[in-house]
Chains A and B, each alone.
Chain A
Amino acid sequence: QKEVEQNSGPLSVPEGAIASLNCTYSDRGSQSFFWYRQYSGKSPELIMSIYSNGDKEDGRFTAQLNKASQYVSLLIRDSQPSDSATYLCAVNSWFDYKLSFGAGTTVTVRA
């Protein structure tokens, strides 16, 4: 059973600041790592995927992966009120179809 742990928050940041989200996972066989954004009452929306150690940037989002430390993070730069949501970390392994999700970190961006 893969365990995926996230700080539940809430994380409150002022508009324009950087929001930093953390995720740890228990299964060393995990190969693929995803960040989903979930607005209240809505479905998870994929915002980032990362498979190799290091950083991956996409617009205002940067994902960081450290497999040795079993740690993946998400940075949101220039946070906007529209970024207010719950961010879900999800992992799977190369031959494992299912995604294992963390409980999510709720982010509130203050205008």
Chain B
Amino acid sequence: EPEVTQTPSHQVTQMGQEVILRCVPISNHLYFYWYRQILGQKVEFLVSFYNNEISEKSEIFDDQFSVERPDGSNFTLKIRSTKLEDSAMYFCASNLGQGPNEQFFGPGTRLTVL
């Protein structure tokens, strides 16, 4: 069964460093998303991406964040200068299209900023 994959599973970085989180969405899906979940808190939307551009972004997704689809399979989230409060689980999700389509989540990347 097709699934969303993410690498790495765990990333440890120093405050101020850049990190890139990688995702491979389900192959026939057209819409891609990043969410994050700080320990003990809600899953929060960061950004959605369609047709090589951002469709929607939240207030969390400030200038420190960027997304890219560098090739036909990968979808990346870059955090330019990490802060302690960026420590969280980051989930990639994808679906076929807008409207009621279900979103399927990858296993997540645990980001720890020291």
Encode B35-51 as 1/0 by CB contact (under 8 A) with A.
10000011111001010
Taking a contact as CB atoms under 8 Å apart, the answer to whether A97 and B31 are in contact is yes
Question: How far, in angstroms, from A42 to B35 measured CA to CA in the complex?
Answer: 13
Encode A84-111 as 1/0 by CB contact (under 8 A) with B.
0000101010111111111110000000
Interface of B is mostly: strand
Question: How far, in angstroms, from A97 to B18 measured CA to CA in the complex?
Answer: 27
Q: Does A49 contact B (CB under 8 A)?
A: yes
Question: How far, in angstroms, from A95 to B41 measured CA to CA in the complex?
Answer: 26
Residues of B within 8 A of A34 (CB): 102-103
Q: Does A44 contact B (CB under 8 A)?
A: yes
Q: Does A31 contact B (CB under 8 A)?
A: yes
Q: From the candidates A32, A42, A94, A98, name the one contacting B33 in the complex (CB within 8 A).
A: A98
**Total contacting residues, chain A, CB less than 8 A:** 25
Taking a contact as CB atoms under 8 Å apart, the answer to whether A98 and B48 are in contact is yes
**Total contacting residues, chain B, CB less than 8 A:** 26
Given known pairs A95-B98, A98-B56, the reply for A43 and B91 (CB within 8 Å) is yes
Residues of B within 8 A of A42 (CB): 107-108
Taking a contact as CB atoms under 8 Å apart, the answer to whether B100 and A43 are in contact is no
Taking a contact as CB atoms under 8 Å apart, the answer to whether B106 and A43 are in contact is yes
**Interface positions of B (Cβ within 8 A of A):** 31, 33, 35, 41-45, 48, 50, 55-56, 58, 89, 91, 93, 98-100, 102-108
**Interface positions of A (Cβ within 8 A of B):** 31-32, 34, 36, 42-46, 49, 51, 88, 90, 92, 94-104
